Structure 1
């Protein structure tokens, strides 16, 4: 329906039906306000807000807290991705937390477009998540890995970072210079 103004009730109906059809967990705390849980694989869940404004639908999803390190490198990574993204772009808030944000005019609010924009949010948040963590939190992840190894704790939820967190797999790791066997061992005397 282009040209004519669409009512809040009509827009809410389109959004609500789209979320129900997609079987997405969501909340509708007030007219024109939606919170949608988007299940991922790397980032297990991205919560996306859909807020109907006077002229446009605002889309906003928290992706990652402010980085501990390498901020400029991470901002460069995000800005380079923005040029190729559909409907949303990476942005940061006043403290440096990372979001995906976008706006759709009321005329563009259709089931297909809501599905497409939610798919884009999920794809960008999930696909880039581990890279963002490696760039912005690499030192903390390596420390956590080392601490867990020393204590014999599970590394299961850190396995995605093994290539750079595990000292034996890191490209900057110093090769082990110890002899293959201990000269004092019975195997070395044979």
Structure 2
């Protein structure tokens, strides 16, 4: 375990990632994102493998089946981790890396995968699972003259005035 901890420690330092060593074989790493501001990733050294776990979003308020379908379709193309849900429906990224494969390059690749899969589709996941709440919040803020700054990523679907017009049909109909 000490050998793996040393590899993890050096990799995280070399990557300038904020991290916390919770004890032998237990790490928390902050992965800064663009859409999801931060993803906290746990690295846990087990008997045979390094376990990777990262919370992505809480259980959806609506369209659960649509969100699960979206996540499962992405799982087939992902590297090192896969989307999973816990007993209440919260979404995580989870994976395992055999001890023999733990290297600075592989840890970097794995953490990059976690960041990419948590951050890139984050707004789409929120639109699917929380669209009604986001639209309601948008409308409430507009009525009260409140800032929309942290909702701007959802303007195209939350703000009726910004929605693109429907595409015309190929047969000339509207």
Fold shared per TM-score above 0.5: yes
User: How much does 1:167 deviate?
Assistant: 1.7
Per-residue deviation, residues 24-63 of structure 1 (Å, max 9, x unmatched): 0000011000000000000000000000000000000000
Give 2:72's aligned residue.
79
TM-score by length of 1: 0.86
Runs (5+) with no aligned partner, structure 2? 167-174
Give 1:45's aligned residue.
38
| In structure 2, C-alpha distance between the alignment counterparts of 1:100 and 1:114, rounded to whole Å | 15
2:119 pairs with 1:93: no
User: How much does 1:172 deviate?
Assistant: 8.5
Give 1:115's aligned residue.
108
Per-residue deviation, residues 84-137 of structure 1 (Å, max 9, x unmatched): 000000000000000000000000000000000000000010001000000000
Corresponding residue pairs, total: 166
* Secondary structure of residue in 2 paired with 1:101: strand
| In structure 1, C-alpha distance between the alignment counterparts of 2:63 and 2:165, rounded to whole Å | 18
Structure 2 residue corresponding to 1:135, chosen from 86, 105, 128: 128
User: How much does 1:170 deviate?
Assistant: 3.2
TM-score by length of 2: 0.94
RMSD over aligned CA atoms reads 1.2
Per-residue deviation, residues 9-38 of structure 1 (Å, max 9, x unmatched): 000000000000000000001100000000
Bigger Rg, which one: 1
User: How much does 1:171 deviate?
Assistant: 5.5
